[in-house]
Amino acid sequence: GEDVEQSLFLSVREGDSSVINCTYTDSSSTYLYWYKQEPGAGLQLLTYIFSNMDMKQDQRLTVLLNKKDKHLSLRIADTQTGDSAIYFCAESRVDKIIFGKGTRLHILP
Amino acid sequence: GAVVSQHPSRVICKSGTSVKIECRSLDFQATTMFWYRQFPKKSLMLMATSNEGSKATYEQGVEKDKFLINHASLTLSTLTVTSAHPEDSSFYICSANAYSYNEQFFGPGTRLTVL
């Protein structure tokens, strides 16, 4: 199918790690992305990974890519209240980017 | 990083009126701009791809006469929702391609409410 799939909701305690998972469909995708959307705002590119990489780390963010299973994950270490947002997984196609439905991350005190 | 602005951020209009939304790249020239629509609990849906100086390319199912897109310069694209109806109420987001098609910068979005 055409869809990028991700769970709709994740609840994590402050200070714990958050792991958001995503599956995509196009094995020829060159780039895979994670975007963050805060309430009422547009999208902010958090990080991206090139398809020939397995892992990318950027401060508290770690992206893991399993190309065989077409599985992408975003790990946020030491989750803070400011991380509360919707996280979109996206894959590049020939001439456009396809987004998942977004995972709403809720932070528990 | 590159900045994209949208205006207005919110608009409320009566059914049957037309609404224009502007998308500007503030500190770079955008050869390509994209318009998305976001439904509650659904992913971003690409509506059209807009290249400066040429006609927009619309995605399947998007009415080009309903959603008019103009990309008159390298820093400005507009989306006009013509004869708006309540079902057009949504969050519209634009993005601009800065250096390659794989790098897009998003505007803050425009919330359209049609009464």
Query: Which tens digit of pLDDT belongs to each residue from A65-93?
Result: 999 999 999 999 999 999 999 999 998 87
What residue type is A31 in one-letter code?
Answer: Y
For chains A and B, CB pairs below 8 A equal 45
Spatial separation of the C-alpha atoms in residues B52 and A42, rounded to whole Å: 22
Give the β-pairing of B90-97 and B67-73: unpaired
**Which residues of A are less than 8 Å from B42 in CB distance?**
101
Spatial separation of the C-alpha atoms in residues A17 and A5, rounded to whole Å: 21
In this prediction, residue B41 has a pLDDT band, given cuts at 50, 70 and 90, of low
Spatial separation of the C-alpha atoms in residues A102 and A83, rounded to whole Å: 14
Spatial separation of the C-alpha atoms in residues A17 and B78, rounded to whole Å: 41
What's the gap in Å between the CA of B26 and the closest CA on chain A? Answer: 16
Contact across the interface for A31 and B102, Cβ inside 8 Å: yes
Per-residue pLDDT, B98: 67
pLDDT digits (tens, 9 = 90+) for A2-46: 578 999 899 999 999 999 999 998 878 788 999 998 876 778 889
E-strand ranges in chain B read 4-7, 10-13, 19-25, 32-38, 44-51, 57-58, 67-73, 76-81, 90-97, 104-106, 110-114
**Which residues of B are less than 8 Å from A99 in CB distance?**
43-44
Per-residue pLDDT, A61: 96
pLDDT: which is higher, B77 or B105: B77
**Which residues of A are less than 8 Å from B21 in CB distance?**
none
Which of A4, A30, A97 has the CB atom closest to B104's CB atom?
A97
